Amino acid sequence: MRSPSAFTADYPDIREAVARLCSAYPGEYWREIDRERAYPTEFVRALTEAGYLSVLIPEAYGGSGLPLSAACAVLEEIQRAGCNGGACHAQMYTMGTLLRHGSEAQKQRYLPAIASGELRLQAFGVTEPGSGTDTTRIRTRAVRDGDHYVVNGSKVWISRSEHSDLMVLLVRTADRDAGDKPSDGMSVLLVDMREAEGLTIKPIRTMMNHATTELFFDDLRVPVENLVGEEGRGFRYILDGMNAERILIAAECIGDARYFIDRASSYAAEREVFGRPIGENQGVQFPIARAHTQAEAAAGMVQEAARRFDAGEDCGAQANMSKLLASEAAWAAGDTCIQTFGGYGFAEEYDIERKFRETRLYQVAPISTNLILSYVATHELGMPRSY
């Protein structure tokens, strides 16, 4: 049964079409891929060919030029169907850095190829071993040498880099203490990873299948023409994209929450214990109803954040709060779903344990709950900063 929602009524055609596409990729498909820690190539290809990964690319560059709220609907439905958008969601927000800050030549060269699926831009290289939350401490360095930058350093947790042609890479082009602010002196490079010499990619096996990796740069040469925007202003460009990233991931979490609620409410209505459906017991009903209530509240915040983003209004607080609320709603719904299924919740073939592992990530990445609370405390409520 599909749980009702006041916040899942927009883009009915897109939602229905995405759900139909996803039905060709059932639990067996994802279980097999999860077991092997393989990449869902066929699924990503199908989404690309149907144009869903390029909904945010303007029509002039071959996409459908839809607003962020449409992209949210796509990702929510993917997750709700039991699929995993984590394999390909990055293209939607990394592309924004190029779109907003790239030169016309860069946009002409890359965006139509990304929209058609000829090129994949799925890798976003920011985090380093010594700088996760505190991005200003990145140490990967790009030094100008004629018409190239020479990049040295390392990154960690860079997802999908083995399955991407291009990467948006944040590097230091000046020391942290050389500018007015620690965030000065960083730059964004668009790295073509196909046959790149001086780039080593090492997969990291994680508790869920996320194709994440460590990257090592050893004199990697990147043409100067691949600098996005101005040298030294890269941190601002990355920050610009973060609201979109948070809202899109919040939408995925809403999809996860709804997946768990749909599964739990259906199972509770069918599973008989003591000669009656377990869902007749309020001890089983109420946690599912609570999870649904929590998901609805979070979905309302996601919708408002996307609306503000699309209207060009300030949406930092809503983007952050929606990511926090939605990731927690998904986790609570997953926990309730496992409890409702009893022992079967732990069995691989029911898919719930897999989805439970997958959705846990979003309380840590792309930004952890503590840092969102810190943002709300300091930016919204005017309290002093702890760092």
Name the site residues for ligand FAD (rule: CB under 6 A): 124-127, 132-133, 157-159, 206, 210, 212, 361, 364-368, 370-371, 374, 386-387
Report the C-alpha gap between 16 and 361 in whole angstroms: 27
**Which residue has its beta carbon closest to ligand FAD?**
132
- In the complex, minimum distance from the CB of residue 37 to ligand FAD, in angstroms, rounded to a whole number: 12
Neighbours of 9 (CB within 10 A): 10
Q: How far is the CB of 127 from ligand FAD (least distance, A)?
A: 3
Cα gap 257→332, rounded to integer Å: 8
- Cβ 235 to ligand FAD, closest distance in Å? 13
- Cα dihedral sign, 305-190-152-161: positive
* Shortest distance (Å) from residue 156 CB to ligand FAD: 7
Residues 69-108 as b/e (b if ≥16 CB within 10 A, e otherwise) read bbbbbbbbbbbbbbbbbbbbbbbbbbbbbbbebbeeebbe
Q: Which residues pair with 215 in a beta bridge?
A: 155, 201
Q: Which ranges in the chain belong to alpha helices (H)?
A: 12-22, 27-36, 41-49, 68-80, 90-101, 104-116, 234-270, 282-310, 316-341, 352-360, 369-375
Type of residue found at 235: F
* Shortest Å distance, C-beta 254 to ligand FAD: 20
Nearest to ligand FAD of 274, 387 (CB atom): 387
Name the residue type at position 168. V
Cβ neighbourhood burial of 6 (10 Å; 0-12, 13-18, 19+): exposed
Q: How far is the CB of 286 from ligand FAD (least distance, A)?
A: 31
Q: How far is the CB of 93 from ligand FAD (least distance, A)?
A: 11
Task: CB nearer to ligand FAD: give 51 or 85.
Answer: 85
Q: Round to the nearest angstrom and report the end-to-end CA distance of the chain.
A: 47
Q: Closer to ligand FAD at the Cβ: 80 or 210?
A: 210
- Which residue number, 169 or 306, has a Cβ lying nearer to ligand FAD? 169
Q: What's phi and psi for 23, nearest 5 deg?
A: -65, -15
Q: Name which of 187 and 336 has its Cβ closer to ligand FAD.
A: 187
